[in-house]
A and B are shown apart, each in its own frame.
Chain A
Amino acid sequence: MRLLLIEDDEILGEGLRDYLSADGHRVDWCRSLREVASYRGEPYDALLVDWQLPDGSGLDWLSARRATGDLTPALMLTARDLLSDRVRGLDSGADDYLVKPFAPEELAARLRAICRRAAGMGGARRRYGQVEVDLAARSVHLAGARVELTGREWAILEALILRAGRIVPKQDLERLVLGFDAEWASNAVEVHVAGLRRKLGRAIVETLRGLGYRIGESA
């Protein structure tokens, strides 16, 4: 998943970025709202927002973003633990609320949960024909046999599953999977999609010529 992390604390921000990156996510880490502006228009699977930032309130920023119709799942990270704060945080557009200190394992689990909810998925497991994907365990089985995917292949598969039923343009997929400043070949997405099809069958990813890609529900 491509994530936007807004956290001004260096130790926590760096720790979360590295932890989530090690989990296979692409994390854009901003230390202030001013820095966030440079990522405007980028597609994200989820937002991780600290409430108190040096140049403003993360809650107000999220609220303003929601007002524009943006429905990207958002997880509020904050030291405020009062009931009134939690209620205000959730009412302002956060999909979940995590009080510091927290274990990064819990953060990752909640992140997966809000993304699944946003995708209309009840659990972490999805089945596409003979292909079974476990988003929590980051595992894929074909006809009961475990299939090893590369990081990029997994990222493309996860991005398509979280947008099940929708067409994902190639450019969005590139930015979601490969990152804002990564260097990539122009056919990188096609290469990884081909890899997925080779390992999981052709039907796992549909190509809609000129439009983009979609997870193959009939795989």
Chain B
Amino acid sequence: MKRRLPSIRKRLTRALVVWSILWGVAVSAAVWLAVRQEVDELLDDTLQASAGVLSGPLTNQAGANQETGGQTPGPIAHSPAPSGRFAWQVVQYAPHGQARVVLSAPLAPASALRDTPSSGFADVPGWRVFGLPLANDSRMLYVAQSHEERREAQLDVAFSASMATLAIALLAHLWLRARARHELQPLERLAQRLATHDPVNASATLGSAERTELQPVHAAIDGLTERLAHRLAQERAFTAHAAHALRTPLAGIDAQLAVALRECPPQLQPRLQRVRTAAGRLQRVVTALLTLFRSASETRPQPLDLAALVARLPIEGLACEMADGLVVTADADLLAAALLNLFDNALRHGATRVHLSTPRANVLRVVDDGPGLNHERRARLQSALTTQTYEGQTGLGLMLTDLIARAHGGALLLPEVDQGFAAELHLAPEHAIT
């Protein structure tokens, strides 16, 4: 099973999400602490200012009320706190310390906010109070605001600040995510260019790097391409040389044997014929090897009529059966070499006929009527082919056939059959095989 690789984009996105949340929470906490202090001070200033504004008119009214027997005065004209956010009381303190509310706003509590005369700010249960003595009197003005209202004001401010911070974090996250995506696009374009890059073609270049960080990658790929092209050129030169050095003597050996067969005494002919058969097998192996050397860069797949292809192959002693009109897409030379090797294997293992079929698109199955393999041997062979650990496990024929299938982007499989030996050449890329 293919291991899923981490994605740079996903990792960046995840990091950005986490960073945005942490940043939003941290900034919100900082805002909460700062706002709490500032709002407290602001509200206290307001309490103090309200007390100052109220003290003037209330001094007179409180005095009048005292004269009328302590009745609560009617609504104060031009109330300095019409919104009802504040409550106030004018408290009269008796010489023995008893406190009596002589004037109060409707929202104010009925009892005195403070039992003893107290100037300045203080917190009493449920209220924040600012006390101010009224002029030349034993009365105190208390302006108060409920703790609940102050908390509500603090929460409103903190909530707004947090929302703004989170909105900024969200926008920053989206922007950074888009930026990350944009910055990763040169990598995608590089991958696309690499997919169609031909290292053998000297005129094909990757082009200049789009980002400074990609320059080393471009340089490394260019270096690799150069080394690969050099290696390919060497291999081609070797193959061309080897082709001439091997093919010509092989043709000469066969020509000499053909002449010798005609000229030799009859009793020698079977022996010479065996030598010629062996030489023919050697020719096929050498041809397949030479073809394979150039297969990686020069495979030329084309639709092939299997019957026509097989008709050209020298397969004396082996009957070949197939349905009419079988077609596979493959390199003609390579497929011919693969089939020759399979046929040669079949002959050497005592088969007298082979059956060709195409069970699926671009899959060629060859089944012979030889003794076949037992389950363990077949599994070992298949494992060697799959892992390409040919040495000591498979013969040259199967190795060549597997390499030829791989040169087409496929593989050689050895399915189990009831009778004989079966080989399946998967000539299509792996993802196309179902």
A residues with a Cβ closer than 8 A to B are 9-16, 18-19, 22, 52, 77, 79-83, 99-105
Contacts and interface: CB of A to CB of B under 8 A. Distances in A.
A15 B251 CA distance: 9
Interface stretch (B213-221, B254-262, B375-383): B254-262
Nearest to B279: A101
Contact of B259 (A22, A82, A103): A22
B207 interface: no
Contacts of B256: 11, 14-15
Nearest to A10: B252
B344 interface: no
Interface string B178-217: 0000000000000000000000000000000000000000
A102 B254 CA distance: 8
Contacts, number: 78
A57 to B, nearest CB: 13
Interface residues of B, number: 29
Given A80-B243, A82-B298, A100 B259 contact: no
A100 B248 contact: yes
B258 A104 contact: yes
Nearest to A103: B254
Given A79-B248, A105-B258, 20 more contacts: A9-B248, A11-B249, A11-B255, A11-B256, A12-B249, A12-B255, A15-B256, A15-B259, A19-B255, A19-B258, A22-B263, A77-B251, A79-B243, A80-B244, A82-B298, A99-B247, A101-B247, A101-B283, A101-B287, A104-B254
B413 interface: no
**The 4 nearest A-B residue pairs measured at CB:** A15-B255, A11-B252, A12-B252, A101-B250
Contact of B291 (A22, A81, A102, A105): A81
Nearest to B242: A79
B290 interface: yes
Contacts of B283: 101
Contacts of A100: 247-248, 250-251
A11 B253 contact: yes
Given A12-B249, A99-B247, A80 B240 contact: yes
A104 B298 CA distance: 29
Contacts of A13: 252
A103 B280 CA distance: 9
Contacts of A14: 252, 255-256
B416 interface: no
Most B-side CB within 10 Å, residue of A13, A52, A101: A101
B294 interface: yes
B286 to A, nearest CB: 8
Contacts of B254: 15, 101-104
